[in-house]
Amino acid sequence: MDKMIIERDVPILSDDTTLRADIFRPKDSFQYPVIMTMGPYGKGNEYKTGYAAQWKWLTTTHPNILPGSSRSFMTWETVDPETWFPGATSSSVWTPEVLGGRQDPILDWSKLTVPFLSATNLAGFGLHPRGNFEAFMHAASEHKWLECHPGRHEEWFYLEQGIDIQKRFLDCFLKDLKNGWMEEAPVSLRLRRPFEDNEFELRREEAWPLSSTQWTETYLSAAGDATTLSWNEPGTASSVSSDALGKPLTFLSPPLESETEITGPLAAKLFTSSSTADMDLFVTLQAFSPEGKEADFQGTVGPHTPLAQSWLWASHRKLDPAKSLPYRPYHSHDEISPVKLNEVYELNVEIWPTSIILPAGFRLALQISGKPFEREVPGKHEVWVAKGSGPWLHTNVEDRPESIFGGRRTVHTGGEYAIQFAYTYHSVAAIGDVTPFGLRIEEIYQF
């Protein structure tokens, strides 16, 4: 660009630490806010060549993306200098996504007081969404916003609506422009419906979990020959045993009587025993049409992501009572709790938040497994293929030896183990008049 000065590998810190950046600035004497994007992928790694497959998908799916830009200066997960220049007033505002990290140091949300905009993917299980929601709920910032969208990891960052909210947010706080941003609702949510991959209605909310959340109790049952999800409490105690690394169990609900929205965090309370010294629990929420077709969505990486996912080692079942909520079990992860053979334990599983509006006649399904959720993908594949959980799999044999995480698992339901499988749901009044609610699962559970 003839109006832009480009400087490469410029040291930008004033102490003895060397940190280099590529700087794009106007050929004029005006002062502009500094917009900085930081990432681990290499500032000189050109998007279109370094991530050719992702680039092809993005530009094929959205051929008119980044209008007016030559797309010549883009790198992976950084802003396009031409889109933000000249007069650029925003940056890669994914900061709250990367606040999560190691146990040490532990984040103190009371110290986060700067305004922030946190953009989260509704199907990014195993990656960023947990940090987005946690930051929004617990940060001490007086001015904070949460934006929830579907699609791929990088997609909405470069779409027109994504760039627009970033620019408006930073125009407000970096240039002190009165552009109406301060009147924006704290939460914006793109509504997902089955098999509608390109139409996502925007709805604004005042809180997360949604202020209109209602918690509704349902139950899991292993009675008889079926594993079911029911709105009626099981009358008798029952149990089911299975191979931990074998075929998952699926608890299927009756058809929904009316259009139903499920939006918010989930949690699962399980009673289970093991023939080995630990248990690895994977809980996956799915939905199926009356014809049996699964309602899945494009996720952060995989094209067929279920509604919600979770995982927990039984030995990490200890809760932090000061931080745990009915819909958000908070595990301290500060000690190993022994698992005695064939002894029944209560396990509270955090399930990552979701959002979906299901038509009447659809069924909910809760899949229980001792290994990561993966679909069967027919044929031979020379390259990696996403099967429902992206690349974030718990498959390292050193971390999960079969002698400890294999064996038999027994799940106990009904009677003294008749714990609610509770989630919030109610009918949607009419199309376009969506009644929101949060979601919590607190279940008795079979493995």
Q: Kindly report the number of other CB atoms within 10 A of residue 14's CB atom.
A: 6
Rg (Cα) of the chain, in Å, rounded?
A: 24
> Which pLDDT value is given to residue 404?
93
Residues 4-205: name the CATH superfamily.
Alpha/Beta hydrolase fold, catalytic domain (3.40.50.1820)
Calculate the average pLDDT of the chain. 83
Distance between CA atoms of residues 191 and 357, nearest Å: 7
Q: Please check the confidence at residue 341 and state whether its pLDDT lies above 70.
A: yes
Burial zone of 300 (CB within 10 Å; 0-12 exposed, 13-18 middle, 19+ buried): buried
Adjacent-strand bridge partners of 268: 349
Per-residue confidence band for 420, with pLDDT thresholds at 50, 70 and 90: low
First to last CA, the chain: 60
Where exactly does CATH 3.40.50.1820 map onto the chain?
4-205
Buried b or exposed e, range 200-234, using 16+ CB within 10 angstroms: beebebeebbbeebebebbbbbbbeeebbbbeeeb
Q: Which of 35-44, 96-105, 143-152, 415-424 has the lowest mean pLDDT?
A: 96-105
DSSP annotation string for 124-181: -TTSSHHHHHHHHHH---SSEEEEEE-S-TTHHHHSHHHHHHHHHHHHHHHS---SSG
For residue 141, give the amino acid letter: S
Whole-angstrom distance, CA of residue 430 vs CA of residue 300: 30
- Tokens 């700087």 correspond to 23
The overall pTM is greater than 0.95: no
The H or E element that residue 187 is part of is: strand 187-190
Please say whether the beta carbons of 196 and 387 come within 8 A: no
Regarding beta strands 228-230 and 216-221, do their DSSP bridges make them parallel or antiparallel, or are they unpaired? antiparallel
Q: How many residues does the chain have?
A: 447
Tell me if 173 sits within 8 A of 145, measured CB to CB: no
Given a contact cutoff of 8 angstroms between Cβ atoms, the answer to whether 284 and 351 are in contact is no
pLDDT of 123 strictly over 80: yes
* Residue ranges, CATH 2.60.120.260, the chain: 216-374+403-423
Judged against a pLDDT cut of 80, whether residue 424 lies above it is answered with: no
Whether CATH 2.60.120.260 fits 216-374+403-423: yes
pLDDT at 14 > cutoff 80: yes
Give the burial class of 83: count Cβ atoms within 10 A of its Cβ; 0-12 exposed, 13-18 middle, 19 or more buried: buried
Give CA–CA dist 305/368, Å, rounded. Answer: 16
Sequence-separated (6 or more) residues with CB below 8 Å from residue 317: 331, 337, 345, 346, 347, 348
Q: What is the C-alpha separation between 269 and 403, in angstroms, rounded? A: 25
pLDDT at position 106 is 54
Taking alpha carbons only, the member of 239, 138, 298, 275 closest to residue 444 is 239
**Structure confidence by residue, pLDDT tens digits, 257-269:** 999 899 998 888 8
